Structure 1
Amino acid sequence: MTFPFEALAACRAELETEASAGDAQATFPAAGLQRLRQLGVLAAALPRVHGGLGLGTEPHGAAGLLHMLRLVGQGNMALGRVVEGHVNAIRLVCLYGTPAQVARVAQDVHDDALYGLWVTDGATPLRMEQAAGGLVLHGGKAFASAARQATHALVTARAERDATRMLLVALDEGRTVQAGGAGLAGMRGAGTGQCDLTGMAVLPAAMVGQPGDYLRQPEFSAGAWRGMAVALGGIERLSALLRSQLATRGRAAAPAQQARIGRALIAAETALLWTRRAARMASGQDQVDAGDIAATVNLGRLAVERAGLEVIELVERGLGLSAFVRDNVVERLVRDLATYLRQPAPDETLCEAAAWFTRRDLPQPDVRP
């Protein structure tokens, strides 16, 4: 069984159209999500033994997951963020959960479940407290993608002694959600919100892994490559639109515009190369130090950010005011990409990676003939 990449690529126009139509009202792309579900996108990350393709959960699947996330990002980065979180949740359960938990998640996904990965605390940090028969949650999560649409979520919650644990929670339709996406400049279709989980009862069997597993390296840093793949799709789409819109307007032959086109192509290829390298290292295909993996992926994350910001500047300068007109798809894509690239602690990430490689070389792939 193989993934239908050509069918997914053919969906780009419909995903993009839905994204633009729903942007003003921050409408979640429900039709696009259903289309991806039908193509097997949500089940693709499951291990093969559980009816998936192992994309993102088995070493061989890293390249396929990169291509899948890249294609979704080309169509709708907000939807790409939702899919990336879903895949991330599945991977963490596969890494740290019990066989029974993996089997449960797989069954949920085959039953059309959408998983969220919610780790950013709201105004009241999420805690779990012992109660008769199990655990009760207090607090909530902020910047929760697909806050109303996710059927399940992997969340982080503090327990006694402030140890952080991962929990699997099933979400009912009565959840309390405060809209957050409508206030964002970009990625408005990701269904971002603040979800209050106070009063939710969970069983001890819902706890995944051990205290501190979510922050365990190299996985904590290495997982950033999946977000890089979604951003890569957006970068490639903006680069393509720059070329096509300049050509349509008869301006592509101008030397200054050709220079912009060339720089945009270089930036997109740079993002691709770093993402491929990060994906390979994170998948464990190369036998390297855990610190090398985390630091390399962190450098890649910043390289993709820089490539994206450069393409945004080139598009805006190349297309001029037309890039700021709302009925031009470029205007939304610029906002979506700029918002998506705002990952936490970029300066700290760069300094940590630089410190790691100050006295050791960046690991190189084996290119011997």
Structure 2
Amino acid sequence: MTFPFESLRASQPELEEEASANDRDGGFPIAGLARLRSLGGMSAALPQALGGFGLGTEPKSSTDLMRLLRLTGEGNLSLGRLLEGHVNAIRLVFRYGSAGQLHRLAAAIHDGALAGIWVTETTNGVRMTRVGSTYALHGEKMFASGALHVTRPLITAETTTGETRMLVVPLDAARKATESIGGLCGMRGAGTGACDFSGMHVTPDALVGQAGDYLRQPEFSVGAWRGMAVALGGIDRLVTLFRKQLVARGRETCPAQKDRIGLALIAKETAALWTSRAARVAEDAALDPDEAVAIVNLARIAVERAGLDVIELVQRGLGLSAFVKTNVVERIMRDLATYLRQPAPDETLAEAATYFTHNEFSRA
């Protein structure tokens, strides 16, 4: 059983059209999620025994998962972000949760649930307190993609003893959430906002894994490759549109524009090679964990640099037309620039450089 990638590719014009509409009105990619669900994309990360394709949860599946995330990002980066968070939540429950928890999550997903990862704290971070046979939650999460739509977020919460635990919290329409975080300029279709969990109670079976599992290496760092794959899709689309718009304007024969096209293609392929390497490293259990983390950290910075380079080349090559809102390029550049703002890039690069200062780069 293989994922219908060509059907997803054929859906890209409608995904892009919805992305532009959502950017204008702050809408949510309902149709895009429905299309992914109809193709099996929302259950793709579940093991085959639970009705999925095993992408990211079974051996030698990283290439196909990378393709799924890349194609989705090419059509709609906001939709790609939601799929990435959904896959990440499944992966963490698979990696650290019980068989029963994974079965329950799989059943909810087949019934239409949308999972996600909400871990960014406000000044009022989420805390959990034992109250009888349940845990009472207090506090909120911010930068939560799909704040009004995710129904099975995996969140982190601090215990009374200062430990960090993961929980999958069922949410319904009564949630205390908002999509507004102050006018985000890009990725407007991802429905990013905040959710207040104060007053909610969960049972012990909501807890996933043990204290500290969320930050446990190498899983914590190497999983970043999935976000790179989505960003790569955005880079793909931007380079394609750049070439096509230059041709349409009869500017592709200009020597300076030829140089820009060549540099954009180099940047795109650089991002693709680093993402592919990071994906293989992430599923290689034989590789030293510290080296795996260092390689993926380098890949994060390489993909970010490639994306920013492509944005600059497109802006220089298309001039002011790249800044006109009716040009889809303008929206994709904003989405990509926003998506590339991953946390702690300086620290990520420094840690990787420190490792490879004292160790050789693996040829495996």
CA distance in 2, matches of 1:85, 1:180: 19
CA distance in 2, matches of 1:182, 1:8: 33
CA distance in 1, matches of 2:241, 2:112: 34
Question: Aligned partner of 2:217: which letter?
Answer: Q
Paired residues for 1:22-171 under 5 Å: 22-171=22-171
Deviation string 1:172-192 (CA, Å, 9 cap, x unpaired) is 101111223661110010010
Counterpart for residue 284 of structure 1:
284
Question: Aligned partner of 1:36: which letter?
Answer: L
- TM superposition score normalised by structure 2: 0.99
Paired residues for 1:226-305 under 5 Å: 226-284=226-284, 287-305=286-304
CA distance in 2, matches of 1:180, 1:122: 14
| Conserved 8 A contact 1:59-1:284 | no
CA distance in 2, matches of 1:99, 1:67: 27
Q: Percent identity?
A: 60
| Conserved 8 A contact 1:155-1:167 | yes
Paired residues for 1:286-365 under 5 Å: 287-365=286-364
CA distance in 2, matches of 1:225, 1:212: 21
Deviation string 1:264-303 (CA, Å, 9 cap, x unpaired) is 0000000000000000010126x21000111100000000
Mean Cα displacement is larger for which, 230-239 or 23-32? 23-32
- Root-mean-square deviation (CA), in Å? 0.9
Question: Aligned partner of 1:17: which letter?
Answer: E
Deviation string 1:143-197 (CA, Å, 9 cap, x unpaired) is 0001111111110000122100000110010111122366111001001010011
Question: Aligned partner of 1:210: which letter?
Answer: Q
Q: Which runs of 5+ in 2 are unaligned?
A: none
Superposition deviation, residue 341 in structure 1: 0.3
CA distance in 1, matches of 2:181, 2:249: 34
Question: Aligned partner of 1:130: which letter?
Answer: R
CA distance in 2, matches of 1:80, 1:69: 6
| Conserved 8 A contact 2:148-2:179 | no
CA distance in 2, matches of 1:178, 1:103: 30
Deviation string 1:18-50 (CA, Å, 9 cap, x unpaired) is 110110222111111111111110000001111
Counterpart for residue 211 of structure 1:
211
Counterpart for residue 198 of structure 1:
198
Q: 1:181 to 1:36 in 2, by over 3 A?
A: farther
CA distance in 1, matches of 2:110, 2:148: 20
SS in 2 for 1:183: coil
Mean Cα displacement is larger for which, 173-182 or 225-234? 173-182
CA distance in 1, matches of 2:4, 2:363: 32
Question: Aligned partner of 2:152: which letter?
Answer: H
| Conserved 8 A contact 1:181-1:191 | no
Question: Aligned partner of 1:215: which letter?
Answer: L
Question: Aligned partner of 1:56: which letter?
Answer: G
CA distance in 2, matches of 1:6, 1:43: 17
| Conserved 8 A contact 2:181-2:194 | no
| Conserved 8 A contact 1:54-1:60 | no
CA distance in 2, matches of 1:126, 1:175: 15
CA distance in 1, matches of 2:229, 2:97: 25
How many residue pairs match? The answer is: 364
Question: Aligned partner of 1:336: which letter?
Answer: D
Question: Aligned partner of 2:20: which letter?
Answer: S
Deviation string 1:83-133 (CA, Å, 9 cap, x unpaired) is 000000000000000111111111111111110110011231000111122
| Conserved 8 A contact 1:182-1:188 | no
| Conserved 8 A contact 1:127-1:159 | yes
SS in 1 for 2:60: helix
SS in 2 for 1:199: coil
